[in-house]
Amino acid sequence: MSRIVEKFAELRQRGEGALIGYLTLGDPTPEDSLRLASCLAREVDILELGIPFSDPIADGPTIQGAIDRALRAGTNTDHCFEIAEKLRRRFEIPLVFMTYYNIVLQYGEERFVSRCREVGVDGLLVSDLPVEEARPLLKVCRRMGVDMIFLIAPTTTEERMNKILRSASGFVYLVSLLGTTGARERLSELTIEKTRWALRYVKELPLAVGFGISKPEHVRAVIEAGASGAVVGSAFVKIVEEEGAAACDRLRRLAAELKAATRLG
């Protein structure tokens, strides 16, 4: 059983949803990024770590800005593995890499996934790799014991949903809104509607809901709707944008508030 599966099972027994927190690795520098990710790791259930890529088509302006800062600081894929390895030495929580396929392809699928296993990365989410083209990477992930996480969207058909569910492990990530990542003031009714829709299909794996979730009331709403977890990214990245290397206290405060909203009892 993977760390991700164990974490969701543990939280389910406690009657809690999972808080999955995202940061872009290397923002504002690789050294500061390790410190800030360590701060967030103390408050979240799963840590999602973005490997910066020069053409981040799925990301909104906040995360694009973080990626730009990371790349300007010289961050590369090897730096990201080094940060993840240091995080693993300090924390037991599941670690997930989120990136784009070109990063994996350039590194080499076998080498990339093998390195994930070596440093203690538990899951991989390649946001621009459709399930129809993922078979070679999926085979490597299964052999190496790294969960491959897939995205589903409001436009996903039933046929495609079934393909994804046959391939996914760890959890399934529902992109609750059309468009790119980014914090919203209000949670769309569509998010709740699509969470309930997805749960008609996603039964064996945990369902985590992301895109536009940034406040405790957003987290509570998707957990109450039946999701196993909520993914928060841009709200954390915005704090790093505003505070830089001094962002630790604000990251922890926001994460603690969001985590409290996952406890429905």
Q: Pick from 134, 123, 101, 201: which is nearest to 169 by CA?
A: 123
Q: How many Å apart are CA 237 and CA 66, to the nearest integer?
A: 7
Which pLDDT belongs to residue 182? Answer: 42
**Six-digit token string for 116:** 């994930």
Catalytic residue numbers read 48, 59
Q: Are the CB atoms for 153 and 182 separated by under 8 Å?
A: no
Q: What is the CATH number of domain 3-260?
A: 3.20.20.70
* Three-state DSSP state, 150: strand
pLDDT at site 183: 46
Q: Name the residue type at position 61.
A: P
**Cβ(47)–Cβ(94) below 8 Å:** yes
Longest dimension (CA), the chain: 47
CA angle 177, 180, 184 (to 5 degrees): 65
Q: Mind listing the pLDDT tens digit of every residue in the chain (265 residues)?
A: 799 999 999 999 999 999 999 999 999 999 999 999 999 999 999 999 999 999 888 788 999 999 999 999 999 999 999 999 999 999 999 999 999 999 999 999 999 999 999 999 999 999 999 999 999 999 999 999 999 999 999 889 999 999 999 999 999 999 976 544 444 455 778 889 999 999 999 999 999 999 889 999 999 999 999 999 999 999 999 999 999 999 999 999 999 999 999 998 7
pLDDT computed for residue 177 by the predictor: 65
| C-alpha of 39 from chain center | 16
Q: Please provide the distance, in angstroms rounded to a whole number, between the alpha carbons at the two ends of the chain.
A: 27
Asked whether the whole model's pTM tops 0.85, one would answer: yes
Chain-centre distance of CA 114, in angstroms? 20
The Cα 27–Cα 69 span in angstroms is: 6
CA-to-CA distance for 145 and 170, rounded, in angstroms? Answer: 11
**C-alpha to C-alpha distance for 137 and 77, rounded to whole angstroms:** 17
Supply the pLDDT for residue 236: 97
